[in-house]
Every structure is written in structure tokens, then in C-alpha cells.
Chain A
Amino acid sequence: MTAVVLVVLTLLGAPLFAVIAAGAMLGFQTAGIPLLAVPIEVFGIAETPILLAIPLFTFAGYVLAESRAPLRLVRLTSAVVGWIPGGVAMVAIVVCAIFTAFTGGSGVTIIALGAALLPALLKAGYDERFSLGLITSAGCLGLLFAPSLPLILYGIVTETSIDEMFIAGIVPGSLMMLGLAAYCLWRNRHVRVPLSEFSWSEVRAAAADAWLDLPLPILVLGGIYGGVFAVSEAAAVTAVYVVIAEALVHRDIPLRRLPAIMRDSMVLVGAILLILGLSLASTNVMIDAQLPERMVAEVTQLVGGRTSFLALLFVFLLLLGAVLDIFAALLLVVPLIAPVAAQYGIDPVHLGILFVANLELGYLAPPMGRNLVVASYRFNQSILSLYRATFPFVLVLLLTVVLVTFVPQLSLWMLGR
């Protein structure tokens, strides 16, 4: 009965943290455990060193999103590859991926990059529907690359090495980008786009403009993938770097804007970490009630092999991603699914990659995937026209996500497993 009430409240839009807290408190009450256990679990936020990376990366991402760095990046990459057929579409894909990896949320990417990318695509001769579809869907690329927040969260929840998650994401993430790129080239094979002239002086000017932004991805990605920085150290370096580069040197952001950006970014951090802290408590309740064991027993009885389990998980995650935020979905569902997946011999790293890849598509899922809503707002388009615009892109991404789900080697090959 209480469970039904909680589910109804959730569907009506009650804040998720309150539902989780209520569930945990009711569970502790039933088990005769003092409710004091809930704040003690929340205090666990202060006992998990790796969490430091989350506020630092998020803050840095918000500063980048407000700066003119995205525009400079688009200008530079357009100057370098804009003359190649399909070049501007490639720019959109690559820049969106890098940017989403750093900001961790694809809505932010559409808002920050849309203003630069949409005119660039239209000017290059792509039609409006194609351009809108590309920007809206490319906004969800990049969550599989370092230093993406969903990968960090999955690592924290399952105690999987975050460095391994970052490495494992490279091939699947690149596959999704290549899939979109191939579609763009094929779709526009008959379009005779007036190619822009390659100009050294424009490349030089754009590079001079972006000289301070360029070292950042190299520094952070090189530092993490090369093993120079721990994840939270890379986060600290990024935060200091972007404040110095964007606010002090480029002066894109007036210093008096910084408090508002800090506050906005910490709203997201607070929302995620509160759910994390409370889900530590609710996970304990579930473990106490032997829910994971029962899930394992039920599922292994119903679902025969590993392939059918993966198929079931694939469908489940697509539906989940359509209604639930990727961070909340990871925090709530992973603790339940991970033991079941282990029974089927699924590598935890592969599980994490397929979770993020599947949930990523939820951003584009009707009726109200976040990218669709943000893009409809940002570009003043009806949500229906965005369904149509994104449809072919979603099909392509779906295909790549099927591959990522059913071919574990894509995730594990870089790790040599």
C-alpha cells in the first residue's frame, strides 16, 4: 500500500529524493532500526573521497558553458575541417561530444553550442530539419568519455575503477560518433554544398583566439588517460584552469557573474549528491530485505541465457531513460541490477558502459526526453517537429547502442580483457 502511494507520488512529480527518503525511513521503521541511520548514511557523503570530483567538474562545466569557449571551438574546428565535404556536420559531432563529456549534461550542450552550430550548419547548406536533428541528438554524445559524471557515478556506486570506466568508454563512444558521422555523409551525398575555401589566415586567427581553451581537453584527458592525475585532482585542475582562462584572461564572464554560476552548478550537485546519500540508506533497506537476492532468484528463473537477459535489460533501460534522469536512474537501479548481471557473467565495466549508453538515448526519447524539450525551447520549434527531425539520428544511435549492449568486447577490448 505505502509502496503504491510512493509510486503514485513519484509519477505525479514529487521530488525523487523525498520518495527515496520516505522509502528508507519506512523500511528502517519496519526493520526496527532507528531512523537516525538515515542521516548517518547521508553523512557518508563526507566519507567518500572521490565525490570531490563531482562539484569541481560540474562547476568547471558550467563556467565553460557560460563562456565563449564553445564559439571559439566551433570557429577553430570549422576553419580546420569546414572545407571537407560534410566537414561542418563532423564539427558539430566532435564539439558536442567533447563539450558534453565536460559538462555531463546534454541539455547544457544544446544551449551553449546551439547558437553557434545551427547557423554554421545552415550556412554550409544543410537543411533546417537535418541541422536541428543533428544538434539535438549530438547533444547526448560524449557521456562515455572522460570526465563524464555518469561514468564517475557508476564507478562510485559499484566500486568499479573510474579510470577503467573512462578507458572502456572510448570505443563505444567513438562508435556512436562514427555512426552519426556516417549517417550525415550518406544523407547529404547528393547535396552539393558550396564548400568554403580553406584559409590559413582564418585557421591562424581562430587558433590565436582559442589558444587558451585548447590546452584544457589535452591537459585533462591526457592527464586522466595517461595516469598523471587522479580523477579528483584532474577536477581541481580543470576548475582552476577554466576560472583563470575564461573569467580572468578572456574575460568572457564578468567576475560578478561567478556567484550565480557557482550557485547554479551546485544546485545540480546538491540534487545528485542528496539522492546519492539517501540512496545509500534505501539500498541498505533493500539489502536488509534481501531484495537483490530475490531479484537474482526471480530473474534467473525467468530469463534463460545471458543474451535474453541483455535484451530485457536493453528494453528496460530505454524505457527507464525516457522517464528518469540519468543520474537518478544510475543511483537507484544499478545496485539492484548489478548482482543479477554478475550472475550472467557480465563484466561490471561492460554493464556500466551499456547502462550509460542506453540511458543516454533517453534524452531523445518521446514524449519528453530532455534534449527534445531543451531544443524545442531553445530553437522555438514544436516538440513534434523535433521528433521528426531527430528520428533518423535516433535510429542510428539505437543501432550503435545495440552493438554496445550485445558485444562486450567493444567496452572491454581497450582494457585487454
Chain B
Amino acid sequence: MTRSPDASLVGRVTGLARACETGLLCAVLAAMVLLAAAQIVFRNLGWGGIAWADEALRLMVLWVAVLGAVAASRGQRHVSIDAFARLMQPAAWRAVQRLTAAFATVVCAALAWQSLLFVRESAAAGDLALGGAVPAWATQVILPVGFALMALRYAILVWSGPAVADNRQPAAH
């Protein structure tokens, strides 16, 4: 996925956004690995574990999931049925890619909006998370942000078309 550095403003902005996404994703995942390991050590030493750790770990799973999903939208790596798309002529395939991306844009925008309503409701109710240390909305805010970023990604795909011309490359995971 390495592309030649794009010196334009748009290129620099998307490059920066990508770096922020990756940085946050790695930070949360690293924290998750360390906290999960620390929790096992503490329990086995008979110190009883960290009180807020289990809830924090569950929230981190949500965060890496959403950030990972954003990264997946960027690289067109969401699960889809590609058996038929692979058999299409490249030109038809490019048109179809734009159509499905338009659909995904609308859905992600709707999800972002509904998530925002969800977060607003939880903020208005004054819910707390992590043993009362933080307001619950601060842990939920990844949902509207994530879906909005995904909508943006798909909108860019509709606008500029697929970055690769070839529909016969394997998607390995």
C-alpha cells in the first residue's frame, strides 16, 4: 500500500489522517496487550487484579474494532462477496465499485448520525464509565467518529474511483 508521497494539500492532509489513525490504533492495541498481561500477573500474584481493567479492556476492544474498520475501509478490505466481481471486465468492475461505494457511503453516514444521537443521549443522561472516572460518552464517541470517517472514505472512492485497476488480485487474510 505504499504510494508515492503526494505533495498536494489533499495528499498531505490524508497522509496526516492516516498517520493519526495508525498511531491511535497501535497505541490502543499496545495498551490492551500490556493491560491484559498485567491483569494476569496481578491475579496470579494474589494482588487481586486491577478493578477497572476488565471494563477498560472491553472498551479497548471496541476502539480497536472501530479503528480497524476505518483502516479496512481505506484499503477496501471489508468482507464482501467478490466471487462475481472478479469475473467482471475491468471497466464494468470500476463502475460497480463506485456504485457499491455510494451505497456504503449512505449507510455509514446514517450509522454515524444514529451513533451521534446515541452519544448525545448518554451525555445528557450523565452516564459514567470506568468506575465513574470518565463520562460514558467519551468512551462511546469512537462510534460516530469512526462511522463518519468510513463514510468519508467511501465518498472519496465514489469520487475518484478505485485506486487499483485490477480486480484479479487476491485479498489474503
Contact = CB atoms under 8 A, between A and B. Distances in A.
B22 A269 contact: no
Interface stretch (A42-50, A155-163, A173-181): A42-50
Contact of A56 (B33, B65, B86, B96): B33
A57 to B, nearest CB: 11
Nearest to A12: B96
A18 B81 contact: no
A18 B82 contact: no
B163 interface: no
Contacts of A368: 82-83, 86
Contacts of A43: 62, 118, 140, 143
A26 B22 CA distance: 33
A138 interface: no
B114 A36 contact: yes
B117 to A, nearest CB: 5
A52 B58 contact: yes
Contacts of B80: 10, 13-16
B148 interface: no
Interface residues of A, number: 72
Given A55-B61, A270-B70, A14 B172 contact: no
Interface in B36-78: 36-37, 39-40, 54, 57-59, 61-62, 64-73, 75, 77-78
A323 B81 contact: yes
A46 B23 CA distance: 21
Interface string A238-278: 01100100000000000000110011001111111111010
B100 interface: yes
B164 interface: no
B127 to A, nearest CB: 12
Contact of B108 (A9, A11, A18, A48): A18
B143 A105 contact: no
A258 B58 CA distance: 23
Contact of A374 (B37, B111, B170): B170
B114 A270 contact: no
Nearest to A383: B168
Contacts of A10: 80-81
B128 to A, nearest CB: 15
Contact of A266 (B36, B68, B117, B169): B68
B36 A268 contact: no
Contacts of A269: 64-65, 68
Contact of B118 (A36, A56, A367, A377): A36
A239 B29 CA distance: 11
A336 interface: no
Interface in A252-310: 258-259, 262-263, 266-275, 277
Contacts of A267: 68, 71-72, 75, 77, 173
Nearest to A368: B83
Contacts of A243: 33
A232 B72 CA distance: 24
Given A13-B85, A370-B172, A45 B62 contact: yes
B26 interface: yes
A257 to B, nearest CB: 12
Contact of B36 (A16, A25, A107, A232): A232
A340 interface: no
28 contacts: A11-B84, A13-B84, A15-B80, A17-B78, A22-B103, A36-B121, A38-B114, A39-B115, A49-B54, A55-B32, A55-B64, A59-B29, A105-B172, A235-B36, A236-B39, A236-B40, A239-B36, A267-B68, A268-B77, A269-B68, A270-B69, A270-B72, A271-B72, A272-B79, A324-B81, A367-B87, A377-B170, A377-B172
Given A9-B99, A267-B77, 8 more contacts: A11-B81, A18-B104, A25-B114, A239-B37, A263-B71, A267-B68, A274-B66, A274-B69
